[in-house]
Amino acid sequence: MKTKNLYYLAIQSTYQTVKCALYKDELQLEMRSIKKIDASADLVPILDELCKSHNIEVTDFSFIVVNQGPAPFTTLRVVIATVNGICFATSVPLIGIDGIVALLAEQPETGMPIVAVLDAFAGDVYFGIRDGKKQIQSGCKPFSIVLEELEQLYPDVQIRLVGNGVILHQESIKSVFGDRALIREPIIEYCSLEQIARMGLQRFQESQGLTEQVVPLYLKKQWWQL
């Protein structure tokens, strides 16, 4: 289902900011960025400004695509509650994107395994592993355990690492993998807003993943959930 003149909204929440952009087909018309602490107060007014500056209504959107996590949970809930509310009021369909999948998919194929590591706080990380074109594992664990498992999976193989968790744990990574750990500078901390938009457009055109409610992808279980 490839159609033209599609207006849609893409939203990416990171560890510092919330970015939202208005798109027409593959073209980004305008992007706004706000500090994550201001998201609850400013996100809806900024979305309204985006629409007004391009003379469109929210009901003109073909869909809204949003990073559904993993991410800092308070910011994630604010963003997802906002888009769920818009869908409830307007029936504009939603598409949720796994941020780990998006980060891995955005990396070029190099012939080596790629590991995405995002900070989950308190020594834990959200992680995903892509080997070739196949994502083989993802979840949330203490980084020390992830590092042990990576060493067992790839004892003699060079691996590439991305994500803001790499910044926090770079010393430990180097102590285990040495030169076999490829960490390119500047470190890619999370997937781009543009990647969220690309994946959303593709899924809309393929009629995949459209929903009336996005659920946060948090991955980190609390002790009472174990």
- Is the pLDDT at 133 greater than 80, yes or no? no
Domains in the chain, start-ordered, CATH in brackets?
7-98+191-225 (3.30.420.40), 107-182 (3.30.420.40)
Distance CA 190, CA 201 (A): 19
- Give percent of the chain with pLDDT exceeding 70: 95
Structure tokens at 160: 């590439």
pLDDT per residue as tens digits for the range 10-38: 999 999 999 999 999 999 999 999 998 99
Which residue type occupies 20?
A: C
- Is the pLDDT at 136 greater than 80, yes or no? no
Nearest in space to 143 (alpha carbons), one of 159, 158, 164, 160:
164
pLDDT band per the 50, 70, 90 thresholds, residue 224 = very low
Distance CA 23, CA 151 (A): 42
Burial of 9 (0-12, 13-18, 19+ CB in 10 A): buried
Q: What is the pLDDT of residue 217?
A: 84
Mean pLDDT (whole number) for 206-212: 95
pLDDT per residue as tens digits for the range 67-125: 999 888 888 999 999 999 999 999 999 999 999 999 999 999 888 999 999 999 989 99
